[in-house]
Amino acid sequence: MREAHRELLSGNRLLAQGALDAGCRFFSGYPITPSSEIYETMMKELPARNGLALASPDEITALAHCVGASMCGYKAMTATSGPGWCLMIETVQYAVMTETPVVIALVQRLGPSTGGATQGAQGDILLVEFCTSGGYTLPVFAPATARQCHQMVQAAFHWSERLRTPVVVLSDKEVGMTLESIDVSSLERRPQYERAAFAGGHGQFLTYGCECPEQPPAFAPLGSSERVVATGSLHDRAGRLRKNVPEVLELLNHLQAKIAAHAEEMAIVEEELAANAETLIVSYGISARAARAACRRLTRAGRPVSFLQLLTLFPIPTEAIRRAAQGCSRVAVVEENLQGLYASVLEPLVGKERLVRVNGLGQLITPAEIIEVAEAA
Amino acid sequence: MMAYTYLTPDAKLPYCKGCGHGQVLRALGEALGRLQLSPDKVVIVTDIGCVGLADAQFSTPHTVHTTHGRSPAFAAGIALADGTLGGGQLKPIVLIGDGGAMIGLNHLVNSALVNPNMTVLMHNNFLFGMTGGQNSAFSPAGFVTATTPAGNATPPLDLAKLLMASRAPFVARKLATDRDLAETIARAIAHPGFAVVEVLELCTAYATRWNPLTGAQLKSVADAAGYELGILHDEARPTFAATYKRRGEDAPTLPIAVSEIASELDRPLGLVLAGTAGERVQSAASLLASAGMRAGLHATQKNDNPVTQGTGFSLSELILSPEEILFTGIEKPDALLIVSDDGARELERNRFFAAADETTLVLSDDQIALPDLPCRVLRLPFRRLPGPKWAATAAVLAWLCITRAVPLEAFWAGLEARLGSQAQSTKGMLRSFLEQCSLAEPAEAPHTTEQLPPPPILAGQTEGPK
């Protein structure tokens, strides 16, 4: 039997560990509660793992540093909270447009504005997803436990490198800073993904030379013998500034097509489905823990409900949700924000008449609150 | 050896007649030609404004066109990554305008401080040219622009001075009309660290239209602004990459092996430890969590404190459970351990007193005023005997002695692992505290999962439910 090695670790600590396991080589950070432990861990651990961790003077610089490093071919990450994310949005869009892989760990706190630094919340979800002008899907993974922080940041690196896009790992104070006993010997390490390198003839390289809309272009780093022409402005395959030509629009469509084409493959969910359940409870992040606890209590009490935890939030795991919701007369979406932000995105999928929102602000949603809603059927 | 070219030969530059950008760009081309850097090791990093059109004029180096004012930050990322993780051969050259320099001032200051291997050419034409000639932070006093029709009332920033104060190892300020501009740019590029050349130049679309300004008058603009000209600073300062230290080995971690001292707890227990920041509350809670883990339990620890560090309350919510812990909050506390007034006040605010009922055991320091609670309350001299710094640890230990939720051996083993050589004296101090409170360890631990009634000897000291 494998011997268990338990450690008391936070989600932030395991997120940093997962980044290292994914092959992260570059980190530029700026302190902000409740994400600072990721920054501190990377400053401590990266130098020992042939990497570079940097202190940046602000969040804009932090992400710009990462994009520069990624253009040189190094897997790069930064970590922040809502106020820092607001500053990073400009550079997130730049990474989308230049097809530059980068991972951003966003540990949410209670907003608006500087809000409550040491209070959890799930209020940034749509600010994250819809930060890009034009209708592009930004992949978002949402761990609920420290172990899932380790897993989801690896998924984030995988997809970021594979599709050449920024990817966000969205946790919050409660997931990031709560310590949990973890059997570290059982942590899963997925194989590291290396972005597809240009293998064509010398001089044939085009920075944005994608061959089909669903795949990113092959990569050549700055400093290689292939000339890189990168730009955040409208461009053709060669990276030249262009306007009003079909190729530019083709490439804009490609930015979305490459994500959309992999939506089902990117879907990560955990489900505890009960046969003939009337109610499906859907949740993500910290609230998924209370929701799962509520489902188990109800099931033990002989009133089974189905439970679905979404670890991929975007692209929306449409098929998994449809399947889980099949036959249910109610779909309750549990999340710690006003109005049910993610629920509003799911509404067209599950239907207004079935959708029930369970929301909270400023404190954890409890299993009892969820049970109350489920029982009200 | 074949000579490299960098700019597209005979390129028709996209600039107005007489615009300084063209002069700087030609001088850069000439400087690169003198240095003969391998073009694949040169990265031209630009951003927004007329100067940002320059990247398209280069035919052989890499080019990265970025967001307004951010080019120094992207370039620093490139130079720092390559300098520490790669071959260290890459040379990013930033072309930025006076508008961009002000938006990205923080990036310039930081890059100067950090000292990556990069060069910045700041094209200062005193206004925003691309958007119609609006004033910038570098418009001279009295300068007429689209947004200062009566003359600019604000004095211009001295970037060279600012970057010298930011420890930039190479700083120069030149006029676009200087004959030795290419030579100065070449010296900047050849510098192994952060080098900046500010070039004063004309915007012939707006600046010369609205102001009595010619190329010959650029020097008088500099004089009026108090700008020094020439190479103002040139020192050999170790670059970031040269001083970056890699550690040879991973930091050791301290896994906790699950021992044979198993807990018989058969349901989750939630307790809240409440005290004052700086008095080792969270550390005592993690000691208890580790003890539980040693005994095979799952644990979660949720800490709370005010935004400030080191003052005010400190709260730890701890769950010990034989099963995986899902919800990390505590709906009804099994125990409240209170070791300071700050802690008691926070429990009041934080609804934990309201959530407590007759099954909740409260262990409180005996000097703290508590509201009427419907619980069993046991008051012990945590602060007086072991002292404020050990009060929380003593409270955890007292709770273990009473409930036996986790075998005491697991607690002592955890304490020893944490304190090393100091463990024995601390153990002695805590044991003597237990004796004085008549909580000394019984010879045989009555492992049980139900909340125990207090041992008979304590009966007189507890307050029954109210």
Is B56's Cβ below 8 Å from some Cβ in A?
A: yes
- The 3-state DSSP class for residue A28 equals strand
The end-to-end CA distance of chain A, in Å, is 46
B230 and B379 housed in the same domain: no
> What's at B113, amino acid-wise?
L
CATH number at residue B218: 3.40.50.970
Predicted pLDDT at B305:
86
Residues 6+ apart with CB under 8 A from A283: A290, A291, A292, A307, A308, A309, A310, A333, A334, A335
Are B220 and B363 in the same domain? no
Element (H, E) at B356: none
Taking alpha carbons only, the member of A43, A53, A59 closest to residue A92 is: A59
Please indicate, yes or no, whether residues B404 and B346 belong to a single structural domain of this protein. Answer: yes
Q: How many other C-beta atoms can be found within 10 angstroms of the C-beta atom of residue A359?
A: 18
**Nearest Cα to B401, choosing from B442, B369, B364, B372?**
B442
> What chain B residue is nearest to A74 in terms of C-alpha separation?
B81
Interval B118-132 mean pLDDT? 97
- Would the pLDDT of B424 be above 70? yes
CA B257 to chain centre: 33
Q: Which pLDDT belongs to residue B1?
A: 58
Does B9 fall in a domain? no
Residue B465 pLDDT level (bands cut at 50, 70, 90): very low
In a domain? residue B106? yes
Q: Find residue A8's DSSP bridge partners.
A: A181
Domain count, chain B: 2
Answer yes or no: are the C-beta atoms of A346 and A305 closer than 8 Å.
no
State how far Cα B83 lies from the chain centre: 22
pLDDT computed for residue B441 by the predictor: 64
pLDDT attached to residue B167? 98
Q: Does B43 touch chain A (CB under 8 A)?
A: yes
| B 408-447 residues inside an 8 A Cβ radius of A | none
Report the candidate in A301, A291, A314 with the shortest Cα–Cα distance to residue A366: A291
Q: Is residue B369 part of a domain?
A: yes
Inside any domain, residue B304? yes
From the list A130, A215, A76, A266, the residue with the least C-alpha distance to B81 is A76
Which tokens in the block code for residue A51? 């990497």
Interface-testing mutation among B70, B113, B247, with chain A (most A C-beta atoms within 10 A): B70
Q: Check whether residue B360 and residue B309 sit in a common domain.
A: yes
The residues in B 303-322 lying below 8 A from A, measured between CB atoms, are 303-307
Please check whether residues B121 and B48 belong to one and the same domain. yes
**B236 and B276, same domain (yes or no):** no
Both tokens of residue A129?
A: 């997803």
pTM, entire model: 0.94
Amino acid occupying residue A50? N
Q: What number is the average pLDDT over the span B65-76?
A: 98
Strand partners of residue B22 = none
- B147 pLDDT higher than 70: yes
The residue among A189, A248, A213, A230 whose CA lies nearest residue A21 is A189
Nearest-CA distance from B244 to chain A in Å? 9
- The candidate with the shortest Cα–Cα distance to A332, out of A287, A265, A362, A275, is A287
Q: Do B327 and A48 touch (CB under 8 A)?
A: no
Yes or no, beta carbons of B82 and A222 under 8 Å apart: yes
Separation between Cα atoms, residue B297 and residue B316, nearest integer Å: 18
Predicted confidence at residue A377, as pLDDT, reads 64
Residue pair B438/B458 in contact (Cβ under 8 Å)? The answer is: yes
Q: For A343-368, how does the pLDDT look when each residue is reduced to its tens digit (9 = 90+)? A: 999 999 999 999 999 999 999 999 99
For residue B78, what is the nearest residue in chain A, using CA coordinates?
Answer: A68
Grade residue B257 by pLDDT with cuts at 50, 70 and 90.
low
Average pLDDT, chain B: 91
Parallel, antiparallel or unpaired: strands A229-231 and B42-46 = unpaired
Q: Exposed, middle or buried by CB within 10 Å (0-12, 13-18, 19+), for B237?
A: middle
**Contact B90/A at CB under 8 A:** yes
- Per-residue confidence (pLDDT) for residue B463, from 0 to 100: 47
Classify residue B186: in a domain, yes or no: yes
Query: Which ipTM was obtained for this model?
Result: 0.97
Residues of chain A with Cβ-Cβ distance to B306 below 8 Å are 118
Q: Which two tokens stand for residue B64?
A: 């990265």
pLDDT in tens, chain A (377 residues): 345 678 999 999 999 999 999 999 999 999 999 999 999 999 999 998 999 999 999 999 999 999 999 999 999 999 999 999 999 999 999 999 999 999 999 999 999 999 999 999 999 999 999 999 999 999 999 999 999 999 999 999 999 999 999 999 999 999 999 999 999 889 999 999 999 999 999 999 999 999 999 999 999 999 999 999 999 999 999 999 998 899 999 999 999 999 999 999 999 999 999 999 999 999 999 999 999 999 999 999 999 999 999 999 999 999 999 999 999 999 999 999 999 999 999 999 999 999 999 999 999 999 999 999 988 86
Same domain, B211 and B352: no
User: What is the pLDDT at residue A4?
Assistant: 65
Domains and CATH numbers, chain A: 6-186 (3.40.50.970), 196-264 (no CATH), 267-375 (3.40.50.920)
The answer to the question of residue B283 being in a domain is yes
Distance CA A42, CA A93 (A): 25
Task: Chain B: give the shortest CA distance to residue A290, in Å.
Answer: 5
- Tokens representing B265 are 């707890």
- Please name the residue of chain B whose CA is at the shortest distance from the CA of residue A56: B110
Same domain, yes or no, for B386 and B278? yes
Q: In this structure, is residue B37 part of a structural domain?
A: yes
The CATH number of the domain holding residue B332 is 3.40.920.10
Q: Are both B235 and B293 inside the same structural domain?
A: no
**Contact call for A223 and B82, based on CB within 8 A:** yes
Lowest model confidence (mean pLDDT) among A168-177, A333-342, B2-11, B46-55: B2-11
Interatomic CA distance for residues A246 and A237, integer angstroms:
11
Q: Check whether residue B191 and residue B337 sit in a common domain.
A: no
Which residue is associated with the tokens 């209070």? A119
Tokens of A213: 């809309």
- Based on the fold, state whether residues B315 and B176 are members of the same structural domain: no
Residues B175 and B303 in one domain: no
Distance CA A269, CA A253 (A): 28
What are φ and ψ of residue B359, in 5° steps?
Answer: -90, -5
pLDDT at B332 over 50: yes
pLDDT of residue B168 exceeding 80, the answer is yes
By CB atoms closer than 10 A (0-12, 13-18, 19+), residue A207 is buried
Question: pLDDT tens across B358-407, in order?
Answer: 999 999 999 999 999 999 999 999 999 999 999 999 999 999 999 999 99
Q: Report chain B residues whose CB lies below 8 A from the CB of A75.
A: none
The answer to whether position B118 is within a domain reads yes
Contact B256 A6 (CB under 8 A): yes
Please, what's the b/e burial string for A184-200 (b: 16 or more CB within 10 A of its CB; e: otherwise)?
beebeeeeebebeebee
Q: What range defines the domain where residue B144 resides?
A: 20-241
Q: Is B106 on the interface with A (CB under 8 A)?
A: yes
**Distance, CA of B282 to CA of B189 (rounded, Å):** 53
Q: Is the CB of residue A82 less than 8 Å from the CB of residue A125? A: no
Residue B43 CA to its chain's centroid (Å) = 28
Conformation bin of residue A351: beta by default, left when phi > 0, alpha when psi is -120 to 50: left
From B55, B110, B249, residue closest to A48, measured CB to CB: B249
| End residue of a domain, out of B225, B241, B257 | B241
Q: Helix, strand or coil for residue B276?
A: strand
Spatial separation of the C-alpha atoms in residues A305 and A295, rounded to whole Å? 6
Q: What angle do CA B173, B177, B180 make, to 5 degrees?
A: 65
Decide if pLDDT at B466 tops 60.
no
Q: Is the pLDDT of residue B443 over 70?
A: no
